[in-house]
Amino acid sequence: MKGLKGKNALVTGASSGIGRAIAIRLAQEGVNVAINYRSSPEDAADTAEKMEQACGEIKGCGVKDLLVQGDVSKEDDVSQIMDTVINELGGLDILINNAGIQMESAAHETKIESFDKVISVNLRGAYICAREAIKHFLDGNKKGVIINISSVHEIIPRPCYVSYSVSKGGMGNLTKTLALEYASKGIRVNGIGPGATITPINEAWINDPEEKANVESHIPMGRAGTSEEMAAAVAFLASEEADYITGQTLFIDGGLTLYHDFSKPWSA
């Protein structure tokens, strides 16, 4: 896609799922990718290997990869991640805020520690990474791109996952606020809102045919999405094809945000 070749990206939480697919897709587009991981260097190395394999199929791809350990919810870790990326890759052009967690419990029984944990990774972590990336973009007077991996739960309430719902709702506003604040500086901030996607975060249902069928029965298009489908939209939003798009969350959800229960009229 236009304008991606030779750029440098940081993908947080890129050792699995959607983050891994984004790293691979960006590499296929000629982007050098820093793979952030929190705890598994083996999984991060696996992402790098898959990036190289995918890239090998494309003539003249030749991108660099870099593994960077760090917990996005910790300010010091994020500073270190950014310094490493900037020193090793020579700068940053694209930040993908992908790292995320979820915890299930009824809202009235949720422990404050678990609420804080989810917010600190999904929302605070995305903000800290964005803040550091923006400082770098402004210092270099360069057009930068930030893409937040949000969720359909940016706009659909999610009972028994109050911290997750709130974190993604907040992420929607983070996207819009940063987009407005830095639009005049050439910095674009957008998000994607995945629907139910086949990744490890959904291990509770992806390998259980009955549970999977139940999830898919709520999706107008009748199936869960793939990480690759999410990554394709991220590549577009990061590219110059999307140069006039900022402050938007693109929902990629097989129609989930169209509310399946309203597919047939039930009121006059």
Q: Is 140 helix (H, G, I), strand (E, B) or coil?
A: coil
- Closer by beta carbon to ligand NAD, 46 or else 52: 46
- Closer by beta carbon to ligand NAD, 8 or else 16: 16
* Closest CB 258 distance from ligand NAD, rounded Å: 16
Calpha distance 91→246 (Å, rounded): 22
Q: Is 255 helix (H, G, I), strand (E, B) or coil?
A: coil
Closest CA to 193 of 212, 213, 169, 160: 169
Q: Which of 127, 164, 182, 244 is catalytic?
A: 164
Q: Does the active-site annotation cover 182?
A: no
Q: Does 165 bind ligand NAD (CB under 6 A)?
A: no
Q: Give the one residue of 9, 10, 18, 233 binding ligand NAD; rule: CB under 6 A.
A: 18
- Closer by beta carbon to ligand NAD, 5 or else 43: 43
Where b means 16+ CB within 10 Å and e means fewer, 12-26 reads: bbbbbbbbbbbbbbb
| 108 phi-psi bin (left φ>0, alpha ψ -120 to 50, beta other) | alpha
Q: Does 234 bind ligand NAD (CB under 6 A)?
A: no
Residues 99 and 12: beta-carbon distance below 8 Å: yes
Calpha distance 123→130 (Å, rounded): 10
Q: Does 19 bind ligand NAD (CB under 6 A)?
A: yes
What is the amino acid identity at position 172? G
- 53-112 residues near ligand NAD, rule: CB under 6 A: 71-73, 98-101
Q: Give the one residue of 149, 174, 250, 256 binding ligand NAD; rule: CB under 6 A.
A: 149
Tokens of 229: 């489908």
Q: What are the residues binding ligand NAD (CB under 6 A)?
A: 12-13, 15-19, 36, 38, 71-73, 98-101, 121, 125, 149, 151, 194, 196-197, 199-202
Known catalytic residues are: 164
